[in-house]
Amino acid sequence: MAMVQCAWCGGKGIDDSKLNSPCNVCGGDGFVNVPDPPTKCGRCRGTGKVTDSNSHRDEKCSGCGGSGWAS
């Protein structure tokens, strides 16, 4: 396993979309554990986010759960 930066919070450990609460993807650590070698998620291309076509807002990628990495 490899520790890599969480894409959803950008490694800050804080979820800016929820009034500075701890990131619920990485648990506030800023990093996530992924299989070695780390591979970026193919759906979101490593951003952890996809844009909802109706609301045009960023949502967590369902492929990686927001981490930005394939598991």
pLDDT reading at 18 higher than 70: no
SS (H, E, C) the chain: CEEEECCCCCCCCEEHHHCCEECCCCCCCCEEEECCCCCECCCCCCCCEEECCCCCCEEECCCCCCCCECC
**Structure tokens of 32?**
């996530």
The pLDDT, as a whole number, for residue 26 is 96
Looking at residues 4-16, what average pLDDT do you find? 93
Cis peptide, bond prior to residue 38, ω within 30 of zero: no
The pLDDT, as a whole number, for residue 46 is 97
Distance (Å, whole) CA 40 – CA 67 = 9
Looking at residues 2-22, what average pLDDT do you find? 89
pLDDT reading at 4 higher than 70: yes
pTM (whole model) above 0.75: yes
